[in-house]
Structure 1
Amino acid sequence: MQRIIGVTFLLLGLLTQSYGQVNTVEGIPFIQNYGPDTYLGGIQNWSIVQHQNGLLYVANNLGLLEYDGHSWRNYAVKNRTKVRSIHIADDGRIYVGSQRDFGYFSPDQRGQLSYTSLADSLSSSLRDFDETWKIYGMGDNVYFCTFSEIFIYNGSTIKAITSDFPLEISFLFEGVLLTQEWGKGLSKLSNSTLELLEGGAFFKDKRISNVFRYNDDQWLISTFSEGLFTYSNGVITPMKVSKSLDLSQLIVNYATRLSSGLIGLGTQNGGLIVINQSGELIYQFDQSSGLKDRTVNFIYEDLQGNLWLTLNNGISRVDLNSAFSRIDDRFSLSGSGYTALKSASGLFLGTNNGLYQFNSKTGKYNLVPGTSGQVYSIQEVKDRLFVGHHNGPMEIVNGRAKLLFPEKGSWVFKPLPSDPDILLQGTYLGINKFNTETNRFDKIPGFEESSRVMEFDGNDLWVTQGYKGAFRLSFSPDGNEIQNVKLYNSENGFPSDLLINVYKIDNQLIFTSDSGFYQFDAATDRFTSLKPLDELVGADASIVDMEADDKGNIYFIERNKLGVLKPKGNFSYELTTKTFNKVKNLWNDDLGNITVLDEENILIGAKEGFIHYSPKKDQLKQNNFNVLLREVKNEGVNDSILNYGHPFNQEIGTPSLFSYRQNSFQFSFAAPHFESDGQVAYQYKLENFQEEWSEWSATNFKEYTNLREGRYKFSVRAKNIFDQVTSETSYEFKINPPIHRTTFAYALYGVTAFILIFSGFKTVEVKHKRKTQAIEDSKNEEIQQRDSKIQDITKKSEDEIFRLRNEKLQTEVGLKSQALTSSAMHLIQKNQLLNQIKNTLKNINKEQEDKQLVKELGRIVRSIDKDLSTGTQWDQFQANFDQVHGNFITRLKEAYPGLTPQELRFSAYIRMNLSTKEIANLLNISVRGVEIGRYRVRKKLELKRENNLSDFILRF
């Protein structure tokens, strides 16, 4: 056992070495593993085949596995024995061979697979075979190949072919069934007998694992442990293989020719080996490459070009024909990818963990000593390798890194156009000048911005930043100083100050922003949109990185997609992005980078290592990618599965019928596009309920509940990661109405309505007389109602007249109140004027000596006093006041007869809310006299101290 293990590890080392020698750039194809916990079966898997509808079937220790790209199903055979072989016939039957049994799975009326054993119909003498390792279909016959007999099933009967020699594995080769008779050689089945091939005795003791076409004239015959042989008309020749590939140390379980022309070898102890027709090693995949197991039992290439491997422990899918592969820790490369360079010194890859160089002897990447840490760039300038590193600028000399300048944060180097010996180094804190002749670094003053993205335009240097804009720096001819710095941002044509970058494509500067492409217009000193690129990539595109190859293909990374612009001539391009959808979620979104090593090798910095893109392999496969209904479930009072996802028996145009109580449905669907790895998107609609297609979604089921009666058609379609869209798959059904909305119910409603109408007409005649009398009575009543209405109108008219009179009276009262107030105010003014005149005359009288004049002035004063004390105005005022204030003075006089006329006037003036001064003028008394008057009135009205006189008079 120790010897076997040692030989195996030695062999794997040789294979890895050979792999590295052949492939110096290309990485490991994408590999997807499926374990027993995923497919819910046994660990061992054997044969594998794909149905024309896309479903994949695998022979497993615990039954037949079925995979639709979304979920796995397991179908057990009789006695739950191990399934070894599969064949799918044209009629859709899935024939399986297992331990001591063989038969077929076929869908029932509901599309559910059920197993039928054919071996049970054999006679007891033939029933004791061991295992059915191979099944082939040819014409109307199916061949079940065991190690003791070959059973031929024609659809109704089974015929057994036996041999005097033990049988080994059988093969179907170009319409001929071949089998190995141990001790005799390789034979063919002819007219129900086994005939030894010309030269077939060569294989009497060499176990054959497969036979297939090698070229136009030769077959290729692989053996388990004796190597590979070509066969042509009885001439057998060992196939020469690479010296590094020692087939004597390998057990080849299966061999086949791939669609690419390469030859795949599934080995027991060396994983999957791929060679070309010259025997040169192209690939070797085992556990170190990402396979789940190193024992490969079978190789199958599906309809989409994916390579499926059945393993001793699990299943693996290798996207061997994909244009993309991965360079990661399986090559001893650690970290996220940031930069790459292919030079005469070798292939270098920079990550956040250091700079790595490819070692062609080991097929691995070795860390360049002294470069541990973040690497930003690797450049070759004048046959020297310079590294932009977090720890500072470095140079690779004799396989080691040499620190050139102890300033941390080196981004990139750019040669000075006027002097190629001078390099400008972009750093975290500005720009340094590096003289390659003297190896001297000098800080260039005048610019201290981080300078990661730089490009020369003549002698001017553009430095762009992600959050400020684009700086234009003008240098002196010797590059010693910056003569001018100007910042361009949203004020100079950019849509914003964010995510500004600059790239030199075909000696033309292309600027990008957070939305769109731009170019600098020197005439206007502004930036203008690059319409052609905006129209192709999108005016809202935000480019992360761009680089062109020698053919003019422009590869780019955009925040939402990756792609390439292929030149078509006349300065126009063709945009291709679909093929890059496979890796659009894998690129390093820190400082995204895409590097063109040469026309056939493009590297994309990934979150883990790098993604290698090979344009020559980029051929979008057109295949029968389609969407399948995997389950149709009817829900309601009773739940039931209508179809289990295999061919429908529903006739086109004939919908399934359901009662209204079963008006809820659930549809599950899948599209077997395995390279999409669960990223298939779906659209669906339900005609007569949802006429428009839904949004694309990864959800692979849809439920409809409480549908109304009617005819429906559920349709679904799928889209893979390459944006290929399938044709739609449909299921039609019809829901019957509830009993109260059936045709019978509506007929019953009609009969009932007719009876009611008929009965109505029968009663019309009787009702007519009643109606006539009723009309007469109604007319009389109407006359009475009219009289009553006239009376009501008369009453309303009288009420309206009364209301108008009241309004008129109120208006008159209001006018009188205004007149009364005006009169009082005039009286106050007149009394004030007379008092002033009287006082003036008195003063004059005192100063006069003429007695006659004094006498005359006294007479005038007395006349004024008489006028002030006269009551002629009061009588008219009292009459008007009583009309306005509801006979206030009369009622007050009757209630309090002890009040004097002066006190009545006093009370009236208080009710008019006149001030003390105004009252004093009206009564021709002093303010003190008014206060005394208020006191006397309070006393005669018998008011208490807490009662307010004004409030009492106003409420009286």
Structure 2
Amino acid sequence: MSVIQLSVTQLKARLCWFYLIFLFPVLPANASIPLANYFNDTWSTQDGLPHNSINAIAQTTDGYLWFATWEGVARYNGREFRFYERSDKTGIVDSGTRALVSDDQNGLWVAGARGGITYHKDTKWYPQPVAKNMVNHVLKDSEGGLWIATEGLGVFHRPHSINQGQQDSESWYLENTSAYRLLEDKQSQIWAATEKGLFRLDKNASHTPSTNKKYEDVFKQNGLPEKRVYSVIELKNGSLLIATDKGAYVLKNGRVSLLHSELINEAISALMEDEEGSLWLGTINKGVFKFHDGEIENLNAEQGLPNNRVLSMLQDIEGSIWIGTNGGLLRLRSAPFTTFTSERQLVGDYVRSVISLDNDTVLAGSSEGLSLIKNNKAQPALDNSATKLSVLSFAKRNQGGAWVGTYLNGLKYWQDNQLFDYLDQNSGLPNNEVRAILEDNQGNLWIGTTNGLVKRDTEGHYQVLGREQGLPDEYIMALARDNRGQLWVGTGVGVAVLNDNGLQNIPIQSQEGAAYAFGFWIEPGFVWITTDRGLIRYRQRDGQLKLIGRSAGLPIDKLFQVVYDGDDGLWLTSNRGIWRISYESAHAVADGKQQTIAFEHFAEDDGLASAQANGGSNPAATSTDNGKVWFATAKGVSTIDSALASQKTALRLPIVIESVSIDGHNIDFTEHNELPASTNRVTINFAGLGYVMSSRIEYRTKLLGFKSDWALRGKNTVAEYTNLAPGDYKFVVSARYPYSDWHNADQIIEFRVLPHFWQRLRVQVAFVLLVIILMVGLMYWRLHSLKQSEVRLKAIIEKQTHTLRQTSEDFQRQANEDELTKLPNRRAFDRLLKEKFEQAKQNNTSLVMVIMDIDHFKKINDNYSHLVGDKVIQALGNELLQLSAPDVHVARWGGEEFTMIIEGLEAEKAFDYCDSIRQRIASIDHSHLSNTLKMTVSMGVAFAHQVGHYEDLIRLADQALYQAKNDGRNCVQLWRTQKNNNRT
């Protein structure tokens, strides 16, 4: 029986391709995603690949991705690569791998250098007979036969009944040529791409008569010159796409035609048709061409491809495009966000403000100028593209166009691709930095600067509002008009609202100390404010403020802009990405009907070129009537279709059990389901095979028979269980992407832990009866023995208690006392210094720290012996011990270093006090040791008021000691922050 056995449900599930695309665009018929809209990721040997040449790519039905390289096969689970190299177990005879071909039975054919061919299925390897030369491709046809394309030798066929070692039944169809790829079409015809052209092979032809025609030259039949054919695939419409060294061709109804004239001189090395019907053509030196509806796009090394030589391509079950090159691996995937950067003709990447002009047009302002994004294309917004300015803010202009606030050039307005000067510091503005603009229905223009709010009426009169007029701060970041005609002003210190009664401050500080008001969104009856403490809702009928922040489950404080998408979505921008919450849920939390709020978080993995969304000027985000939301970021303008953002699939995320180990030894969990009774630890490794956001997949597990509750694993992919009781168990794992629903678990492994013989029921019953009999017999003897032992035991306990108490006291003394000098040691001193330092800080009293060092102590040891050196240390210790007092604490720091703590000694008296000690030490008579022996010390002094932590006090005293040594020793050095800081 198997130790761990996959359930029937799980086995069936492995045959299905389950995936979750967190936010995958729904495209109209015949639509194709532009190359610029793909989000790319790359891998190389620095990221775990065994080699940078990706010769082939395959995906098995369990979800694993496989990559063939010159250093073996790499299997990828979204987190890490596992290598399969040359070994007898795998049947790989050389690490150089050329071909990977998957089937619908979760199998994978692997072939390559030295003719090695092997088949992998589930966890097993099935080595095949070795071919005579390097294998470029293999094909298992509909009848079970195996076709092998070799380098230099041609193509041969093996019947499905061939066994290991029986190579005499091989049939050669093409000889003395290099064959690169094989294909069986829907009509069961076999095609071979070779260096001499494309050949159709007759698999029914007998191999005995040499005159039999086994193949047809397709190019020759069509009157075309011989071409090297690298690959051939069958398209959805039944035609064949052919990759040659001189362009791509289509074979349909027996006729060959050129795919596109622009590709006629390109050497096409790899082919693929994606789910949209677009054709992908990898080249030898021009990267990748994408062909759709007669239009061609190119992706090369300048746009992020690791290398322009393309070797392989694959579209995985999530719709991502994988491209293998000579320089590494590239993945293109459709992300929920599309980002416009300077690479897509945006004027500058650092974008601070965006404003929608209509459903198809957005004006973007960056640190380098103005851009228009119209009909999904970015372009300069000015006819004079040489105009450079740093843009901060926008507002719609009643007379058409838009107001433009700048960083250095005041207020301008844009109209008809022209930029016009309007106001600056020379004509009435407090300064030229304009961070917010609003033109109201009466034509009044409100201009928010960093030195106050300016009102300019229709007659050209100016009024500047600042703190004196009631604003909480003059640094204006946001302006908005509510449905009551009130003007809302966001500043760096709070919020004010201006109405007929003047300025009124809104106490947002009551919401966990909120201060910065970065943006507003107004709806009838409510004002939403983004602050440095989260999102605040202001209810106009009663002035109630409610914060939706960390206490409600949001993992971030500082939010820059809030935008409503018209479909229950509130979009929040921050320095750490973009967040989406439910409009209805936000009101529910603010009304106290709901405690926490669910959210979705978007960052670089979702198509943002930078997760840093900018704020501090307005508008930093905007929406259009067609549901698109646009965001200003530190690297371009990002946009998302809010309608698509709410479309989530419920398809399962593929999960695999990668390994099971028992007490550190891996086992084949498909063959065993009984664990020995001696099992102490069961370790199960698993993985969710989602590649779009693999690093963000979260897991939960439960082991039925042990606990019925789910155990949250976070991003950990290992479950470990120790000391499991005998019994039957089922292990279940479930996965999800962050903030989404958990997928129903479909991975179950079952196993049984066998009992020891003494854990069996009959053995346990017999053992219990025997124990009861013995206990009754022993009870009487035990009672008698206990009475006799009681007195003796009490005496022993009393003696041992006395001994332990004495030993404890000795240990305590040794732990805190220096053995040589009987002074406190460094451990005791550190503890005391921390205590005295905190008291000095709390009571605002003085505290002096002194570190002293015996000068030239090494010479004393060298000249008089280490024994004399110890006597000198003892003498100094005795001298310092005499100084000990309630406010003076001395200790041996270690070696020839000693320390002192002096409480209550003012800084100006410290030097004289320490210097008197220095002189006293210098006068110690050592004639009983040697007539020539003299001892002096150097001192470093620091004060508690100079630092904020006791460890820093030690550091300063040590630095002062170091300076004293540099100054010639036998002196006292006070630590000073200025020059002339030593006194001797």
TM-score class, shorter-chain normalisation, is: 0.5 to 0.7
Q: Distance in 2 between matches of 1:565 and 1:753?
A: 66
Number of the residue aligned with 1:605: 632
For the pair 1:313 / 2:334, whether they are aligned, the reply is: no
For the pair 1:201 / 2:222, whether they are aligned, the reply is: yes
- C-alpha contact (below 8 Å) 1:87/1:136 kept by paired residues: no
Decide which moves more: 613-622 or 246-255: 613-622
Number of the residue aligned with 1:430: 452
- C-alpha contact (below 8 Å) 1:30/1:326 kept by paired residues: no
Q: Distance in 1 between matches of 2:381 and 2:317?
A: 39
For the pair 1:237 / 2:257, whether they are aligned, the reply is: yes
Q: Distance in 1 between matches of 2:176 and 2:644?
A: 47
- C-alpha contact (below 8 Å) 1:181/1:204 kept by paired residues: no
Q: What SS is found at the alignment partner of 2:264? A: helix
Q: What SS is found at the alignment partner of 2:767? A: helix
Residue deviations 1:49-88, cap 9 Å, x none?
Answer: 1111111111111111100111111112444242111122
- Equivalent of 1:151 in 144, 150, 157: 157
Number of the residue aligned with 2:945: none
Q: Distance in 2 between matches of 1:596 and 1:362?
A: 17
Q: Distance in 1 between matches of 2:539 and 2:328?
A: 58
- C-alpha contact (below 8 Å) 1:178/1:187 kept by paired residues: yes
Q: What SS is found at the alignment partner of 2:562? A: strand
Number of the residue aligned with 1:625: 653
Q: Distance in 1 between matches of 2:340 and 2:305?
A: 15
Residue deviations 1:739-777, cap 9 Å, x none?
Answer: 6545575366267469869x989xx9xx9xxxxxxxxxx
For the pair 1:694 / 2:711, whether they are aligned, the reply is: yes
Q: Distance in 1 between matches of 2:709 and 2:104?
A: 36
- Equivalent of 1:50 in 59, 78, 90: 59
Q: What SS is found at the alignment partner of 1:678? A: helix
Number of the residue aligned with 1:172: 184
Number of the residue aligned with 1:659: 677
- C-alpha contact (below 8 Å) 2:269/2:282 kept by paired residues: yes
1:248 maps to a residue whose letter is I
- Equivalent of 1:587 in 604, 611, 614: 611
For the pair 1:135 / 2:139, whether they are aligned, the reply is: yes
1:224 maps to a residue whose letter is T
Unaligned runs of 5+ in 1: 1-21, 120-126, 476-482, 768-956
Q: For residues 246-261 of structure 1, what are the structure 2 equivalents within 5 Å?
A: 246-261=262-277
Q: Distance in 2 between matches of 1:219 and 1:456?
A: 62
2:441 maps to a residue whose letter is P
The Cα shift of 1:98 comes to 0.5
Q: Distance in 1 between matches of 2:614 and 2:159?
A: 62
Number of the residue aligned with 1:349: 364
Residue deviations 1:866-918, cap 9 Å, x none?
Answer: xxxxxxxxxxxxxxxxxxxxxxxxxxxxxxxxxxxxxxxxxxxxxxxxxxxxx
- C-alpha contact (below 8 Å) 1:717/1:725 kept by paired residues: yes
The Cα shift of 1:275 comes to 2.6
1:264 maps to a residue whose letter is W
Q: Distance in 1 between matches of 2:696 and 2:198?
A: 49
- C-alpha contact (below 8 Å) 2:353/2:391 kept by paired residues: no
- Equivalent of 1:98 in 112, 121, 132: 112
Q: Distance in 2 between matches of 1:753 and 1:567?
A: 67
Distance 1:417 1:665, change over 3 A: same
- Equivalent of 1:76 in 78, 81, 85: 85
Q: TM-score, normalised by structure 1?
A: 0.62
- Equivalent of 1:163 in 174, 178, 196: 174
Q: Distance in 2 between matches of 1:286 and 1:263?
A: 16
The Cα shift of 1:727 comes to 3.6
Q: Distance in 1 between matches of 2:752 and 2:406?
A: 69
Aligned length: 692
Q: What SS is found at the alignment partner of 1:432? A: strand
Q: Distance in 2 between matches of 1:71 and 1:24?
A: 29
1:312 maps to a residue whose letter is N
Number of the residue aligned with 1:471: 496
Q: What SS is found at the alignment partner of 1:460? A: coil
- Equivalent of 2:572 in 557, 560, 577: 557
The Cα shift of 1:365 comes to 7.2
- Equivalent of 1:290 in 297, 301, 304: 304
Distance 1:137 1:424, change over 3 A: farther
Q: Distance in 2 between matches of 1:131 and 1:311?
A: 19
- C-alpha contact (below 8 Å) 2:477/2:518 kept by paired residues: no
Q: Distance in 2 between matches of 1:39 and 1:598?
A: 46
Q: What SS is found at the alignment partner of 1:288? A: helix
The Cα shift of 1:412 comes to 2.1
Number of the residue aligned with 2:338: 325
2:80 maps to a residue whose letter is S
Distance 1:297 1:737, change over 3 A: same
Number of the residue aligned with 1:455: 480
For the pair 1:30 / 2:39, whether they are aligned, the reply is: yes
Unaligned runs of 5+ in 2: 1-30, 87-91, 164-168, 206-213, 426-430, 589-596, 782-984
Decide which moves more: 337-346 or 222-231: 337-346
Q: What SS is found at the alignment partner of 1:138? A: coil
Q: State the superposition RMSD in angstroms.
A: 4.7
Residue deviations 1:311-363, cap 9 Å, x none?
Answer: 111111111x3332333464576554432246599865334565556799998
Q: For residues 257-272 of structure 1, what are the structure 2 equivalents within 5 Å?
A: 257-272=273-288
Q: Distance in 1 between matches of 2:631 and 2:299?
A: 23
Q: Distance in 1 between matches of 2:397 and 2:172?
A: 70
1:117 maps to a residue whose letter is Q
Q: Distance in 2 between matches of 1:613 and 1:528?
A: 30
1:149 maps to a residue whose letter is V
1:404 maps to a residue whose letter is L
1:693 maps to a residue whose letter is W
Q: Distance in 1 between matches of 2:641 and 2:701?
A: 36
Q: Distance in 2 between matches of 1:616 and 1:484?
A: 41
Number of the residue aligned with 2:749: 731
- C-alpha contact (below 8 Å) 1:543/1:556 kept by paired residues: no
Q: What SS is found at the alignment partner of 2:635? A: coil
1:314 maps to a residue whose letter is G
Q: Distance in 1 between matches of 2:559 and 2:109?
A: 53
Q: Distance in 1 between matches of 2:515 and 2:55?
A: 56
Distance 1:151 1:42, change over 3 A: farther
Larger Rg: 1
- C-alpha contact (below 8 Å) 1:209/1:255 kept by paired residues: no
For the pair 1:302 / 2:316, whether they are aligned, the reply is: yes
The Cα shift of 1:310 comes to 0.9
Q: Distance in 1 between matches of 2:454 and 2:494?
A: 21
The Cα shift of 1:418 comes to 1.5
- Paired-residue identity, %: 15
Q: What SS is found at the alignment partner of 2:692? A: helix
Q: Distance in 1 between matches of 2:613 and 2:111?
A: 50
2:622 maps to a residue whose letter is T
Q: Distance in 2 between matches of 1:309 and 1:562?
A: 31
Number of the residue aligned with 2:424: 405
Whichever structure has more helix as a proportion of its residues is 1
Q: What SS is found at the alignment partner of 1:45? A: coil
For the pair 1:118 / 2:129, whether they are aligned, the reply is: yes
Distance 1:221 1:26, change over 3 A: closer
Q: What SS is found at the alignment partner of 1:305? A: coil
Distance 1:589 1:164, change over 3 A: closer
Q: What SS is found at the alignment partner of 2:438? A: strand
- C-alpha contact (below 8 Å) 2:240/2:250 kept by paired residues: yes
The Cα shift of 1:305 comes to 0.9
- C-alpha contact (below 8 Å) 1:54/1:624 kept by paired residues: no
2:215 maps to a residue whose letter is L
For the pair 1:86 / 2:100, whether they are aligned, the reply is: yes
Distance 1:260 1:185, change over 3 A: closer
The Cα shift of 1:462 comes to 2.9
The Cα shift of 1:297 comes to 1.6
The Cα shift of 1:699 comes to 1.6
Q: What SS is found at the alignment partner of 1:259? A: coil
Q: Distance in 1 between matches of 2:63 and 2:158?
A: 27
Q: Distance in 2 between matches of 1:236 and 1:316?
A: 32
- C-alpha contact (below 8 Å) 1:588/1:607 kept by paired residues: yes
Number of the residue aligned with 1:814: none
